Structure 1
Amino acid sequence: MNISAKTEYACIAVLELAARYGSGKPVRIRDIADANGIPSRFLVQILLQLKSAGIVGSTRGASGGYQLVKPPDEITLGEVMAVSDGQSTEPVSSLERETSPSRALMETWQNVAAVQSDMLESVTFAELVERASGRAENMYYI
């Protein structure tokens, strides 16, 4: 499974917004970018795409920024990845001629894609916030 930088940045941005969900304060692009090493120019485009999809909303002004439109437990990893990539995970054969072995393989690839899709749709950003905060708390410094 190849994950583009754009998709990873989109997921990180939504994860940042999910971690701050309920604070009532919009999060500035610069804060998300600086905390995660994401280029601000790139993040603007990603957040606009997520806004068009109804995942995030924005507030203008000096205290403006972005926030989630719905709770983190209602947003899945699969949903954000689909918005970011905009491509199907359905496998496509590159072979010119269909044979019995290639059909058997294609069926297997389709099964793998279905399991992958189900997995991505089952992971919510509320769960990811818990995982991320658990890792931060368990870090030890010497």
Structure 2
Amino acid sequence: MPAFPTGTDSQYVESRPRSLLVLTDVRGGRHDGFDRVVMQFRGPGKPGWYTAYVRRPRADGSGERVPVAGDSFLDVYASGTTYDPDEPAYDYDTRRHVAVPGDGPVRDVYVLGTFEGNTQVLVGIEGAARPYRVFRLADPPRLVVDVRDTAGG
């Protein structure tokens, strides 16, 4: 597991070639010192990601404003993804909020779905932008986003 960075800069890692991952679950949890958001997939490959804090939470493609609770918004894109038309649980038309238990920094997680090879999830954070780390886990493929409790390093 990587260390937390001291800043809040955007992060980018490419997906593995020929990744065709389908989002199957999104969940949030509270840990000592941070909140965790996990995006779980099925299919071949390893997800990449692009993450950045944004001023206004908006849906990719339409630009539509998204109702995410919080003061700061972390926009998370998992790359190397697709959706299964026979299993529309997380397609672009099936948006939903994911509960995050506890009283940590993450107030809301809003799953927007998959559009043009990227799956978008918005994370609403209480207060100022906080350092976060992103990494992959395998078996099953997962993308993990941890948001620190404190705004400092």
The bucket for the TM-score relative to the shorter chain is under 0.3
More helix per residue: 1
More strand per residue: 2
Question: Which structure has the bigger radius of gyration?
Answer: 1
The alignment's TM-score, normalised by the length of structure 1, stands at: 0.23
